[in-house]
Amino acid sequence: MPHKGNVTRHILVVAGSLLAIAVSALVATTASGKAQGTPQDTTAADTAYEAPEITDTASLAGPRQPIFFRHDVHAGQYLIDCQYCHVNVEISPKPGIPTVGSCLNCHLIVGTGIAEVDSVRAYEREGRVIEWVEVHDLAQFVHFPHQVHVNAEQEFEVVCEDCHGQVDRMAQIYQFAPLKMGWCLDCHEQKTEEFGKPVSTDCSVCHY
C-alpha cells in the first residue's frame, strides 16, 4: 500500500493506472477478445459500451454491497482487465477482492464529485476495510481449485463468463451459475467429450 504523504509515489501509481486503462482499452480493441474476461467477439460496438445510469438499485440481482461498485462501469465501459483487480486469479484457489488502497490508485483523482467515490476515499482515510458481501461460497467439503480453471489448457476453452456470466455488463454482481455438483460434472463431461482429453469426474478430485 502506498505510504501516506509520499506524493511522488502516488503520482507514479496514478500515472501507471491511467496507462493501464489506456493499454487495456487498446488491447481490447486490437486483440479481438483474447484478453481473458472480455467477450469472445469484441466488436467496435462493444468498445463504445456505455454503462447505463441506474436509479433503482433495489431491483438489481445479487446482494447489496457496502459500496455500489459497478463491474459494468469498470470492466465494461472502461475496459479494465479482470486481472488488474483480481491479481491472484491465476495462482490462487480463492482469487480474492482488491484492497481499498488499490481503488485509490485511480480514485485519488478519478471520480471526484461522485458521492460513492468519496465514500471509498473515506474508507482509505479512516483506515477501514470495505466488508464486501461474498457472492459465491462453495461448501467447505468441496475442493475447487479456482486457478486450475483459469489456467485450463487452451483447448478446453474455459473463460470467466462460463462460470460468472457477463460480469462486464453487471451493475451489481450476482451468482450466475448454480454451483451444484451436477453443474461441475456436466462441464467436466462435456469437455472430455468435446476434446477427447479427460477431465476427471472421480469423487476424490472434488471431495477430500
95, 109, 121, 147: which one contacts ligand HEC (CB under 6 A)? 95
Find the binder of ligand HEC among 181, 189, 193, 194 (CB under 6 A). 181
Our finding on whether 160 is near ligand HEC (CB under 6 A) is: yes
First vs last C-alpha separation in the chain: 37
Q: Is 20 in the site for ligand HEC (CB under 6 A)?
A: yes
Amino acid at 132: W
- The residue among 6 and 198 lying less far from ligand HEC, judged by its C-beta, is 198
Residue 52, all three cell numbers: 447505463
Q: Which of 75, 122, 124, 196 binds ligand HEC (CB under 6 A)?
A: 75
* 2-10, 26-34, 40-48, 68-76 -> range binding ligand HEC (CB under 6 A): 68-76
Residues 126-155 that bind ligand HEC (CB under 6 A): 132, 134-139, 142-146, 148-150, 152-153
Q: Is 33 in the site for ligand HEC (CB under 6 A)?
A: no
Q: How far apart are CA 159 and CA 74, in angstroms?
A: 19
Asked if residues 161 and 152 have their Cβ atoms less than 8 Å apart, the reply is: no
Q: Which of 17, 28, 72, 124 binds ligand HEC (CB under 6 A)?
A: 17
Q: Are 99 and 2 in contact (CB under 8 A)?
A: no
Kindly tell me the burial class for residue 105, based on how many C-beta atoms sit within 10 Å of its own C-beta (0-12, 13-18, 19 or more): buried
Write out the three cell numbers for 155. 483447448
Residue 120 touching ligand HEC (CB under 6 A) = yes
